[in-house]
Amino acid sequence: MKKGISIYPGLDNTPEENIALIQSAARLGITRIFTSLQIPETSKESFARQLQELLQLADKLDMDVISDISPASLELLGIEEFSLPRLYQKGLRTLRLDDGFTAAQIAKLSQNGMGISLQLNASVLNEGTLEKLQQQGCCLDRLEALHNFFPRENTGLSEAFTLTKTHLLQCHGIKTGAFVPSFARPRSPLKAGLPTLELHRETSFSFAIRHLAAMGMDCIFIADSLPAEQELSALAELDGSSIALQPEWLPELTPLEKELCSNVFTARPDEARDVLRTVESRHLTAELLKKQQNAAGQPASTAAIAPRQKPALPRPAGTITLDNQLYQRYQGELQITKTDLPPDRRINVLGHLPPLEQRLLKYITPGKKFRFI
């Protein structure tokens, strides 16, 4: 999974703030920068100079700049007509083509020999457009796609729509990305955040990036142009190889339970109706019990997880549980409930997933890896 920030020359940030942001992102291993050449509020006087500085610094730090461009952007660049050689001379290497390009034009641009990469607007592509691109000789495997972000409240995409579009594109071999807002300093002029999904205007930054990763995005950008250091670090540390869940733990967890829950788990291939089961948990628990008994100088045969909640606790949807010794050979099985289940003295409750976190459970399909943070 690739990760990126956004810079808007001539808008909110000072040139010094933009430089500091790019340098901080590069230090953290973030490799992409999104910029737009078609924001009406941009100061034309400072745009060209700041853009040139941005491109030079990005090239020095080996960062890829994705420039959102349309035929209307040419005035900002001081170019009379859309010309790849002229854009290349300006230092532009990856173009996100928005409005104003036909399938035939996109296909021709995709065949350039200058090393200019293309990105398409993932939010508006459909099967018909993709078929037209193929008919025109466009090499879809050389393209990427990037969803829009939406400055105005209530105009962001739904989760279902975004997922459908993303799967369509990925089925055609097109890697797809999306944006999350920053909650540190939202961008002008509306300052309401710049999410792809409307939902993310209302959530935490952590949930937004973990949600896009769970949805299978190939690239995640912070859309607002001055994120907090904590947001940059969270994005840099995001591991797309497993779905990350943030539970509310019960306060009395044992050292064994804490160590067990620090592992990465795999959802079992035989999907249960009522609970999410894990492949590794019983084996991991047995190893931890053995380690615990060896440290105490006791026989391994005495190792057991005792039932410790009297009376047993109910298990509403999103409850994280661990089977105790009363469940015999199932001792040590970690589960997450997908529906409301009654109390069971054979099962210890470890914690709960808040309702928002439960939205991620549907992405933990058989064979998928997940972890707790």
d(CA 291, CA 289): 5
pLDDT at position 219: 98
Residues 177 and 300 occupy one common structural domain: no
Q: Which two tokens stand for residue 94?
A: 């990856």
Residues 308 and 220 occupy one common structural domain: no
Residues 96 and 205 occupy one common structural domain: yes
- Give the CATH number for residue 273: 2.40.100.10
Strand order in the sheet with 275-277: 248-249, 347-352, 319-323, 334-337, 275-277
Residue numbers of the domain that contains 26: 2-240
Residues 95 and 207 occupy one common structural domain: yes
Q: What percent of the chain has pLDDT over 70?
A: 99
pLDDT at position 301: 58
Residues 270 and 135 occupy one common structural domain: no
Residues 329 and 210 occupy one common structural domain: no
Residues 278 and 224 occupy one common structural domain: no
- pLDDT-based confidence at residue 131 (cuts at 50, 70, 90): very high
Q: Which of 190, 220, 240 is the last residue of a domain?
A: 240
- Give the CATH number for residue 231: 3.20.20.70
**Considering only 134-148, 273-287, 312-326, 335-349, which range has the smallest mean pLDDT?**
134-148
pLDDT tens, position by position, 205-217: 999 999 999 999 9
**DSSP string of 106-121?**
HHHHHT-SS--EEEEE
- Which amino acid appears at position 158 of this protein? S
**Considering only 45-49, 60-64, 324-328, 362-366, which range has the smallest mean pLDDT?**
45-49
Q: Is the pLDDT of residue 299 over 70?
A: no
Q: Specify the DSSP class assigned to residue 305.
A: -
State pTM to two decimals: 0.95
Residues 23 and 144 occupy one common structural domain: yes
**Considering only 92-106, 224-238, 339-353, which range has the smallest mean pLDDT?**
92-106
pLDDT at position 40: 76
Average pLDDT along the chain:
94
Residues 66 and 154 occupy one common structural domain: yes
Tokens 């949930």 sit on residue: 207
Q: Which of 214, 240, 266 is the last residue of a domain?
A: 240
* 8 within 8 A of 33, measured Cβ to Cβ: no
**Considering only 5-14, 191-200, 277-286, which range has the smallest mean pLDDT?**
5-14
Q: Which of 219, 240, 261 is the last residue of a domain?
A: 240
Residues 229 and 252 occupy one common structural domain: no
Q: Tell me how many domains the chain contains.
A: 2
Residues 68 and 170 occupy one common structural domain: yes
pLDDT tens, position by position, 248-296: 999 989 999 999 999 999 999 999 999 999 999 999 999 999 998 887 7
Give backbone dihedrals phi and psi of 352, rounded to 5 degrees, phi first: -140, 150
pLDDT tens, position by position, 75-130: 778 888 888 998 998 889 999 998 788 999 999 999 998 989 999 999 999 999 99
